[in-house]
Structure 1
Amino acid sequence: MTGSPAIPEASAASALVFVGPMAAGKTSIGRRVARELGWEFHDTDARIVAGHGPITEIFAEHGEAHFRALEEEAVRSALTGGAGRIVSLGGGAVLSSATRQLLRGFPVVLLTTTQEAVLSRTNLDKRPLLKDDPEAWGRIYAERLPLYREVADQTWASERRPKEHIAAEITAWFRANHAPAEPIHGEAKDEQHD
């Protein structure tokens, strides 16, 4: 959303953001980190589904541009909703220059994976960009990788290691490098989307 005010720099340590390709583990690892920190977990795709219906239907009825506008607003809302938040972004959120601008000042973790790992564990019917062409994952990832790297402070490969180990490493990295001076006490919980 052009013209919206930037998020103040002071809020930077109040959220930790996960980016990366679809099915890299952003949600599952993000939830584990949220539990470790005692913070809330917010998934921007889940926010969109809660407010607007299934993503596949949004793509089919309104197109990708409309979905990306909803996604940008979901990211803004998740980042400005209060302190003590882990925020997981959809795989294509970084395509928006406004979203990339929003991420400045927040610590951002990039989770990577491989096409082989994704295709072995993903329900393609729920992934509108892969449904008709599963091999598109590699092309999409290659196109987005420079944008992921642009916003990321640290990168973890997620395909060959236990998620709990990756989450523990990310938590330790965050505490050592980005933890707020004053602890943020919050109840570790997932955002509800009923």
Structure 2
Amino acid sequence: MTIVLIGPPAAGKTRLGKRLARRLGLPFVDTDAVVVAEHGAISEIFAEHGEPYFRALERAAVADAVARPGIVSLGGGAVLDPDTQADLAATRVVLLTVRPDAIAARIANSKRPLVTDLESWKRLVEARTPLYESLADYTADTSSRPMDAIVEEIARWVGDAQGTENAQSTEDQQSTEQGEP
């Protein structure tokens, strides 16, 4: 089972992802952390090589991460890549949202290359929201609720979704055994 967390910068994908992975007993991968570990700071990659170069590194990290079971936290812009969008079709996708009034403290002193202040964050989120929503199987707002409550909510959803898949698989097996197509 692979569960992918998407959403705008500073929505809490990494923090929530680590807790969700512990809760579900799955490995955790933060694709931004993979890029940083292998290539250096994202802000430096942007400054030295540009956004397209960073996006190629990000794409490689995403492809590797979603190919294995676990909880995967994507950088806010990773979903812009059509190949990543296609990869997400085979996973469970959780969209983490956050209100602008809750984001100011989270982005203060940020080293995010595309988010320099609250207004740039709002523009970025406005542009990406339709894509985020089209990819999401489940949405949770991280603005003010306790992180552990959100983790439990997502864990319940994963369990419910898994139960539905198991029931469908059993029905398919029974139909096949009875000679039905």
TM-score (norm 2): 0.86
Say if 1:124 and 1:130, in contact at 8 Å, map to a contact too: no
User: Could you say which residue in structure 1 is the equivalent of 2:174?
Assistant: none
Question: 1:101-180 counterparts in 2 under 5 A?
Answer: 101-131=86-116, 133-178=117-162
Q: With CA pairs under 8 Å and 6+ residues apart, which has the higher RCO, 1 or 2?
A: 1
User: What is the RMSD of the two structures over their aligned residues, measured on CA atoms?
Assistant: 1.4
Counterpart Cα distance in 2 of 1:142 and 1:121: 18
User: Could you say which residue in structure 1 is the equivalent of 2:170?
Assistant: none
- Any idea what the Cα deviations from partners look like across 1:97-124, whole Å, max 9, x if unmatched? 1111111121000000022211122244
Deviates more, 1:120-129 or 1:157-166: 120-129
Structure 1 residue matching 2:140: 3-state secondary structure:
strand
Residue 173 and residue 127 in structure 1: after superposition, are their counterparts in 2 closer, same or farther (change >3 A)? same
**Deviation of residue 160 (structure 1)?**
1.4
**Deviation of residue 148 (structure 1)?**
0.5
Structure 1 residue matching 2:18: 3-state secondary structure:
helix
Greater helix share, structure number: 2
Say if 1:59 and 1:67, in contact at 8 Å, map to a contact too: yes
Out of 96, 121, 141, the residue aligned to residue 81 of structure 2 is 96
**Deviation of residue 176 (structure 1)?**
1.2
**Deviation of residue 141 (structure 1)?**
0.2
Q: Which amino acid aligns with 2:72?
A: V
TM-score (norm 1): 0.81
Q: Which amino acid aligns with 1:75?
A: V
Q: Which amino acid aligns with 2:161?
A: N
User: Could you say which residue in structure 2 is the equivalent of 1:24?
Assistant: 11
Counterpart Cα distance in 2 of 1:44 and 1:91: 10
- Identity of aligned pairs, percent? 48
User: Could you say which residue in structure 2 is the equivalent of 1:66?
Assistant: 53
Structure 1 residue matching 2:95: 3-state secondary structure:
strand
Structure 1 residue runs of 5 or longer lacking an equivalent are: 1-13, 182-194
Residue 34 (structure 2) pairs with residue 47 (structure 1): yes
Counterpart Cα distance in 1 of 2:88 and 2:109: 29
Counterpart Cα distance in 2 of 1:24 and 1:103: 19
- Any idea what the Cα deviations from partners look like across 1:109-159, whole Å, max 9, x if unmatched? 00000222111222444111123x441100000100011011100101110
Structure 1 residue matching 2:114: 3-state secondary structure:
coil
Structure 1 residue matching 2:4: 3-state secondary structure:
strand
Number of equivalent positions: 165
